[in-house]
Amino acid sequence: MGRRIFLCMDIGGTKLSCALVSDNGEILGKGRKPTPYEQGASGTIPILEDMGRSLIDLARSIGEGVEAIGISFGGPVDYKRGRVLRSHHATGWEGFELTAMLERAFGLPAFMDNDANAAALGESLFGAGKGYETVLFLNIGTGIGGGITIGGRLHRGGRGLAGEIGHTKVDPNGPICTCGKRGCVEAFASGPSIARMAREELEKGDKVSRMLEICGGDPRAITGEMVAKAADDGDEIALSVIDRAMEYLAIGIANAMHLFDPDIVVIGGGVAKAGEIVFAPLREKVGKYLLSGFLERMPGIVPAALGDDAPLLGAMAIAKEGGR
């Protein structure tokens, strides 16, 4: 039997990616365009159809047929019914029957999951988690998502909500999270949360910071990436902000490790790209909160290996297994 080919889509808040992916994880072709978030679902669908048709044409040109469509969506979904529940970035997605719409457009079966689960599966099968039985994956960017794979299969839970590590509570009196609750990991350790804490420190006005140079003197322009850059340059305020964020993230990771006992923890997303300025203190802090049994054989806490391709490869695996 020859290789199986899938059309894979990653629908995010800032970019749309489509790829032809074989069942061995090889990307045969790929396209990317900005997400028209102001136009919502109605503006996004035509772009996906256009990119998808181009890739199907590519498959035909190399003598391949496309078996199914795999979708990674940046927000909560009902994966069993192929329905988007909501988007945190754009309008018009609430209750959107995305898989049914794409099935009509392309005449192919379509299967979907949220982007964190898709990326978790991609990293587990083809990336930093390959070869490990139980993988705990976190995606740290605008928000904090997570996914758990056991034996190369997603553990979704009864409602498809397993792995939502970003919304575990680490301080009941902490800042309000995007979910509306207080004290979630995401409210302390996501990119925007790190930027918020940095602005709060700068607004005290009692110290000079490299962050002000990086952001052009406007604290409102500070991003999580800027904080990481300033910390890497040795800025005292930035280092203290990163330290605080990693403390809360470590509590969340340690709690998840106690529940799932993973063989490895893989971290992706923009904040994770900061490198050892984040990973070194994080590993040390996680160790403080773990039972001694973990410390005797400490699971690795490592950066993701696949970058933006992780959700596309995970979407392929979801389509290959028929959404299971």
Query: For residue 14, what are the contacts with CB-CB under 8 A and spacing of at least 6?
Result: 34, 35, 37, 89
What per-residue confidence (pLDDT) applies to 257? 95
Q: What is the arithmetic mean of pLDDT over 18-27?
A: 96
User: In terms of pLDDT, which residue wins out, 235 or 2?
Assistant: 235
Kindly indicate the confidence band of residue 272, based on its pLDDT and cuts at 50, 70 and 90: confident
Query: Domains plus CATH for the chain?
Result: 5-121+309-320 (3.30.420.40), 128-305 (3.30.420.40)
> Beta 134-140 vs 264-268: how paired, if at all?
parallel
> Beta 83-84 vs 300-303: how paired, if at all?
unpaired
User: In terms of pLDDT, which residue wins out, 103 or 206?
Assistant: 103
What residues form DSSP beta bridges with 49? none
Q: What is the arithmetic mean of pLDDT over 26-43?
A: 92
What per-residue confidence (pLDDT) applies to 323? 61
Q: What is the arithmetic mean of pLDDT over 297-311?
A: 93
183 CB-side CA count, 13 A:
7
What sign results for the dihedral spanned by CA atoms 25, 80, 34, 45? positive
User: In terms of pLDDT, which residue wins out, 158 or 6?
Assistant: 6
What per-residue confidence (pLDDT) applies to 1? 58
Arithmetic mean of pLDDT over the chain: 92
How far is residue 295's CA from residue 219's CA, in Å, rounded to a whole number?
40
The pLDDT of residue 277 is above 90: no
| pLDDT tens digits, 191-217 | 999 999 999 998 887 677 888 888 888
What per-residue confidence (pLDDT) applies to 102? 97
Q: Contact 206/171 with Cβ under 8 angstroms?
A: no
Task: Give the rounded distance of the alpha carbon of 104 from its chain centre.
Answer: 28
Strand, helix or coil at 108? coil
Q: What is the arithmetic mean of pLDDT over 282-301?
A: 91
| pLDDT tens digits, 128-179 | 999 999 999 999 988 899 999 999 999 998 888 889 999 999 999 999 998 8
| Nearest Cα to Cα of residue 154 among 130, 134, 140, 132 | 134
